[in-house]
Structure 1
Amino acid sequence: MTEQWQQDITKWISEKELLQATLSQPKRKDGTAAPKTVIRPIEMKNGLFYQFEYHFANKVTHDNIEEAKAAERAIGLLQENYRQALVKTPEADVQLLFNKKGKAAVLKKPPTGDSKKGVQQHNRQKQRVLAEGKAAPFLVELGIMTPEGLVHAKKQDKYRQINRFLEMVTDVLAYLPKDRELTIVDFGCGKSYLTFALYHLLAVEQQRKINIIGLDLKADVIAFCSGLAAKLGYDKLQFLVGDIADYEELQTADMVVTLHACDTATDAALAKAVNWGASVIMSVPCCQHELFKQVDNDVLSPLLSQGLLKERFSALATDAARGTLLEVLGYKVQMLEFVDPEHTPKNLLIRAVRTEQQGLSVKKWEQYEQFRQFLNISPSLEHMLAERWPNEISK
């Protein structure tokens, strides 16, 4: 027999009265149920859905459920997993308290806040470059979205990462030439989620003339990416097997992307970008070991005597040196967090754009020299770009 609270939930959802529901106090402590589940309506391109947001200790996952199935899911979760719920509607805030036999006590209070404002708030999705509800073919092929434009629950982190990257790109598009075809190189492209995203943004959505080259050492990965590009009809996106340091096929490039190029491979990619005159550089370094063996300063011995602290400090010093050398050459540099640390480990992204500034910055070079001498380091990027330092500012 259907209980009154079940009928109420079905009614609130079918009549679009449910603004938000928070399910809490799991019946079991074995971790099978999220400590808290939040349900809210979201408007998508193909209609109204209900987002079930599962809050675990160290992550948050989502399911977007069709309106017709949302009540059944909510009732099932309450029957199986939770001891209480707080449901907000325009008419009342309703609290459901379940006893050990599953019977519910229902408490109603006046609605909190402006109910109309609440509907707008909970129906509004965060505006993303790749909006949920509108299927992007490459995301469907890569298993991130369904053909209907819904993001798979297990791919939410990757979806956020791709959107964050495209947001960072969008911020600097004004620095790229607009009167000709753009050449973009992605060093160490891997499975190329972001390479495909970049092509989709610029070539498909913005209809810009571009040529993108993805480079990676793994032949099987390149074969997969090449096949997918052909399937999608991305005829100006090509993938090649090759090493960053040995790639000599281009004379110029407008944008260079390098993600997780290991140790001094990042420096090789940055040097290539500078020598090509790239207007935009997006680089996420990793595995930075070079300066760990070099950095030495008695004043910093409390820090450098601890291996873990020295490793982290050396990585930061490496990127500080890279950023400053790019600034010497007239680039405007920002150090950004690449991924929301709530969902995946923090990554640092070096974003550099070439400005109209003529000549080299003597002031920045002096800052770099003081920094280098203080730490007793000799960064690879400086040596890779040695011919760019004129006598008046070089060592």
Structure 2
Amino acid sequence: MLKELYTLLEKILEAKALTRLVCSRSKDRSVEKVSGRIIELRGLRTLQLETFTSDGKARQKNLPENTALPVLLELVQGFRQINLFTTAGECEIRISKNGACHFSNRIKDPLTPSPAGENNKEHHYLLDPVSAAPFLSKLGVCDEKGRIFDKKSAKFKQINRFVEILDDCYSRLPQEGTLTVCDLCCGKSYLTFAVYYYLTTIRRRKVKMYGVDLKKDVMDFCRETAAELGFESMEFFCKDISDFHPSEKPDLVISLHACDIATDIVLYNAVRLEAKVILSTPCCQHEMMKQLLCPELDFLKGHPLFRQKVCDAFTDALRCKRLEAEGYKVTSIELIDPEETPKNILIKAFKASVPAEKREKALYEYRKATEFLGVRPYLDKLLNENRNS
């Protein structure tokens, strides 16, 4: 059952395309996870594996890359989730109890050799804190020399990870002309500034960036910060995102941790604006907890923790299915790497030429699921009201 995973690992190692891997959800309770990365050690490309155990200890093992395959094939058998990071993108593999592999974001050819990192603890981020210090320091993430403040370390990793995911999606955006980007419910706009910097400085693109939020003082701060940085093509609006009507259809809509039904409002408006790419991270999914009316799941009432987790999963899965019914190809991944946190979902949606029958099938599946659960999600309500108005 693991043959497809073995074939993929062999192909990646043969092409020297692996940069990093994370094995999580261990079958052995004494092991938390295993992470690996390609380094250069004594002039040789080396796979450095680090095993983290439940007693808080960690041990390292270095393997020449050209002899690492047998060890990796044995290693992955002990885990139910494998995340592979390569020069051709990333892939998440979940392994069921019967050994079936479920792949997300399959890695595509061509695979090219990856640079080997130095044998140290330094992580090389897409947003280099020294180069990006002018805007990061204005937002209170680092000092003027690019040293990240301890209390903002998690935020820095978070926005870097988002930008890395955007980098993987970059080919989905128009490759010529000015890009129009909307950050809906942008808050203090850490992500707005990071994405603007990535597109204008790293990708050398012309960008029209809009940030929209209801907090006037925060929007005033963002306007002042953009002006001080000379980010002339950034605009911030203090208004309800449903009242926001940009003059151009957005190529990209982003949103970081819009709380509860605010995520539904973001997704609805992204669809309304006909966004080509949507990157949204949901947060605090409470709506279904109040609505769930399914006799088959009544036993969860005695287990509120599990009931919340089930509702979280159903909420985001239904959002993905509803977007499919609107003509988007949708996947979901973890925003923060598994070694950082076990839960932090990002929804990726790409507008595509989806045949009408597939959209109708997605909507039928959505209706059957909501009927079974006894719920009417807010995203569906918004889309239906807009269609009937």
**Structure 1 portions without partners, runs of 5+:** 1-41, 43-54, 60-118, 391-395
- Of 188, 193, 196, 1:199 maps to 196
- Runs of 4 or more off by more than 4 Å in structure 1? 341-345, 387-390
Deviation at 1:364, TM superposition (A): 1.8
- 1:120–1:342 CA distance, 2 compared to 1 (3 A): closer
C-alpha separation between the residues in 2 aligned to 1:347 and 1:388?
30
C-alpha separation between the residues in 2 aligned to 1:190 and 1:389?
29
C-alpha separation between the residues in 2 aligned to 1:203 and 1:296?
48
Deviation at 1:305, TM superposition (A): 4.1
Question: What SS does structure 2 have at the residue aligned with 1:151?
Answer: coil
TM-score, normalised to structure 2's length? 0.65
Letter in 2 for 1:381: L
Question: Is 1:185 aligned to 2:182, yes or no?
Answer: yes
TM-score, normalised to structure 1's length? 0.64
C-alpha separation between the residues in 2 aligned to 1:264 and 1:175?
27
Deviation at 1:250, TM superposition (A): 4.5
C-alpha separation between the residues in 1 aligned to 2:193 and 2:261?
25
Corresponding residue for residue 365 of structure 1:
363
Letter in 2 for 1:366: Y
Deviation at 1:153, TM superposition (A): 3.4
Letter in 2 for 1:315: D
Question: Is 1:142 aligned to 2:139, yes or no?
Answer: yes
Question: What SS does structure 2 have at the residue aligned with 1:385?
Answer: helix
Identity between Structure 1 and Structure 2 (%): 40
- 1:228–1:344 CA distance, 2 compared to 1 (3 A): farther
Deviation at 1:200, TM superposition (A): 0.2
Question: What SS does structure 2 have at the residue aligned with 1:228?
Answer: helix
Query: Which whole-Å deviations, capped at 9, do the CAs of 1:339-373 have from their partners, x for residues lacking one?
Result: 24655683221111112334352322222122112
C-alpha separation between the residues in 2 aligned to 1:382 and 1:277?
16
Question: Is 1:317 aligned to 2:314, yes or no?
Answer: yes
Letter in 2 for 1:148: K
**Structure 2 portions without partners, runs of 5+:** 1-38, 40-51, 57-115
Corresponding residue for residue 218 of structure 1:
215
- Of 270, 277, 299, 2:296 maps to 299
Kept after mapping to 1: 8 A contact 2:191/2:256: no
Query: Which whole-Å deviations, capped at 9, do the CAs of 1:153-178 have from their partners, x for residues lacking one?
Result: 33322221111010111111111112
C-alpha separation between the residues in 2 aligned to 1:58 and 1:337?
25
C-alpha separation between the residues in 2 aligned to 1:260 and 1:120?
32
Corresponding residue for residue 112 of structure 2:
none
Corresponding residue for residue 265 of structure 1:
262
- Of 321, 333, 352, 2:349 maps to 352
Kept after mapping to 1: 8 A contact 2:261/2:378: yes
Kept after mapping to 1: 8 A contact 2:129/2:136: no
- Of 368, 371, 374, 2:372 maps to 374
- 1:133–1:304 CA distance, 2 compared to 1 (3 A): same
Question: What SS does structure 2 have at the residue aligned with 1:191?
Answer: coil
Letter in 2 for 1:167: E
Corresponding residue for residue 161 of structure 1:
158
Kept after mapping to 2: 8 A contact 1:130/1:136: no
Kept after mapping to 2: 8 A contact 1:340/1:346: no
Larger radius of gyration: 1
Letter in 1 for 2:374: N
- Of 237, 241, 248, 2:238 maps to 241
Corresponding residue for residue 337 of structure 1:
334
- 1:139–1:304 CA distance, 2 compared to 1 (3 A): same
C-alpha separation between the residues in 2 aligned to 1:120 and 1:195?
30
Question: Is 1:130 aligned to 2:127, yes or no?
Answer: yes
Kept after mapping to 1: 8 A contact 2:133/2:143: no
C-alpha separation between the residues in 2 aligned to 1:148 and 1:294?
50
